[in-house]
A and B are shown apart, each in its own frame.
Chain A
Amino acid sequence: RKEVEQDPGPFNVPEGATVAFNCTYSNSASQSFFWYRQDCRKEPKLLMSVYSSGNEDGRFTAQLNRASQYISLLIRDSKLSDSATYLCVVNGYNDMRFGAGTRLTVKP
């Protein structure tokens, strides 16, 4: 089993749609969790951290389920500019694991 697993997609959705991604991790001792966004041929950039209580930033909502060892990202009212690859990141003590990413394309 991979340490961090994501559905690679691609997810093709129309503008305005709601889309959700999941990411599972294998290390139960993992300490911190993130979603990063990577545009084509660009560097990854932090989208949001994921906290135990769940957190929201505008149209984006992140959830953490430690019991089932997964995190999720929900995007509401998708925009064309949301098209990118979304990377799940799971950190332990001096250990960082990236998922392979989920490709999202939002179409007009």
Chain B
Amino acid sequence: DTAVSQTPKYLVTQMGNDKSIKCEQNLGHDTMYWYKQDSKKFLKIMFSYNNKELIINETVPNRFSPKSPDKAHLNLHINSLELGDSAVYFCASSRGLAGAYNEQFFGPGTRLTVL
């Protein structure tokens, strides 16, 4: 069984479109995250939710909106896609909050290409 799953794995779309990426974890973790990894391979936190509550919201354009219907799911919706949004987006989960020694488990990533 996949611990952290994301769909879709690949997403190719035109500028200006709206798209969503879904993430689910079956580990029973309380905390979930979205990361963006750009072409230079730099991995940067975007959002973090703990028990469906937003706890980290980095400086991300408000075109990006996370939604957590329950603690096993954290979806990412992106409005008005731009060329600079092209990247790999990783979802992750951990047992507790960041700051403690909680291992993060990552999904396989969604490779977004905006044309």
Interface residues of A (CB under 8 A from B): 31-32, 34, 42-46, 49, 85, 87, 91-98, 100-101
Contact B41 A94 (CB under 8 A): no
A27 to chain B, nearest CB (A): 11
Interface of A is mostly: strand
Contact A44 B100 (CB under 8 A): no
Number of residues in B with C-beta < 8 Å to the partner? 24
With contacts A31-B100, A93-B98 known, what are 9 further pairs, Cβ within 8 A?
A31-B99, A42-B108, A91-B100, A93-B97, A94-B48, A94-B55, A96-B98, A98-B42, A101-B43
Given contacts A43-B108, A45-B106, contact A91 B41 (CB under 8 A): no
Inter-chain residue pair count (beta carbon < 8 A)? 61
Interface residues of B (CB under 8 A from A): 33, 35, 40-45, 48, 55-56, 90, 97-104, 106-109
A38 to chain B, nearest CB (A): 8
Q: Using Cβ atoms and an 8 Å threshold, which residues of chain A touch B44?
A: 98
Of A85, A92, A96, which is in contact with the most chain B CB atoms at under 10 Å from its CB?
A96
